[in-house]
Amino acid sequence: MRTALAGLRRTSGLPVVFGGLLSDARHARIGELNGAQTGALRGLVVAAGSGLGGKAIALARPCAVTDYPASRHISHEYDRAVAAEGLRSVVAVPVVVRRTVRGVLYGALRTPVGLGDRTFDAAVAAARDVEQALAVRDEVRQLLALTREQVAAAGPGTAPGAWEDVREAHRELRALAPRVVDPALRDALLAVCGRLASASGARAPAAAREVRLAPREVDVVACVAAGATNASAARQLGLRPETVKGYLRSAMRKLGAHTRLEAVVAARRAGLLP
């Protein structure tokens, strides 16, 4: 939310932007502000249907007013906080993930003028950024929960089919890691990836343990291990095929491999892949 709001203020020129996530199905708490001159809005709890943001939450669509204090299209439970900040023209955009409202984002002017299409589009785009980040976070948390069970169950005697599940989970988590904006969640994700990579319990030779690959090189080799071509690996990782090819070439050189299969075998021997 903080990153999206900073981007919205920069691209739209709006002097005040703020927002927050829902704490339950009907209430959002304003936790992030950018450009505010007072603390009147911080911590404000907005109920679905109340005020402009509450209307956006209830309708699950963007709403705007040209002059907040005088508008007859919204309720006015939050007028005191809005007046303290001097806001007049306001847009509120819901953050919707899989048809569920998860938050609300606002942009505002301190003058009663209409907001143009450029400003409106920028607010919608910022909300989409938050939506994508939340969707990735949800997916990561679900994968982490499943993967921790696999890590606990995995070992040298694990059945081959189960190892394929472990390797697939490792690949998916590695592909998601660069898209996670929450540092704590990203660290937890990478820690689980590390446990997956060493889950076999095999003792790598000293020379193999000294191999160091860059994170993206590991990501590419993990995709190759799952049978991906350079093009499909590029789609999974959000890279260009030429970039994937470059990472793979670098990884093969570090691993002393001459083929893609040799690179995968060497990466597993070094404890970089499960």
Instruction: Give pLDDT, residue 120.
Output: 93
Instruction: Give pLDDT, residue 159.
Output: 55
Report, as ranges of residue numbers, the positions in the chain whose pLDDT lies below 70: 147-163, 199-209
Three-class DSSP category at 35: coil
Q: Write out the two tokens for 38.
A: 């007072």
Instruction: Give pLDDT, residue 206.
Output: 52
Q: Write out the two tokens for 188.
A: 């937890």
Distances (CA, A) of 166 to 122, 147, 195: 41, 7, 11
In this structure, how many other beta carbons lie within 10 angstroms of the beta carbon of residue 145?
A: 9
Interacting residues of 265 by C-beta distance below 8 A, sequence separation 6+: 257
Three-class DSSP category at 64: strand
State pTM to two decimals: 0.67
Three-class DSSP category at 22: strand
The single-letter code of the amino acid at 133 is A
Instruction: Give pLDDT, residue 149.
Output: 67
Instruction: Give pLDDT, residue 136.
Output: 83
**Torsion angle, alpha carbons of 22, 24, 27, 31, to 10:** -40
Instruction: Give pLDDT, residue 165.
Output: 74
What's the rounded Cα separation, in Å, for the pair 4 and 52? 20
213-242 tens-digit pLDDT: 998 999 999 889 888 899 989 988 889 999
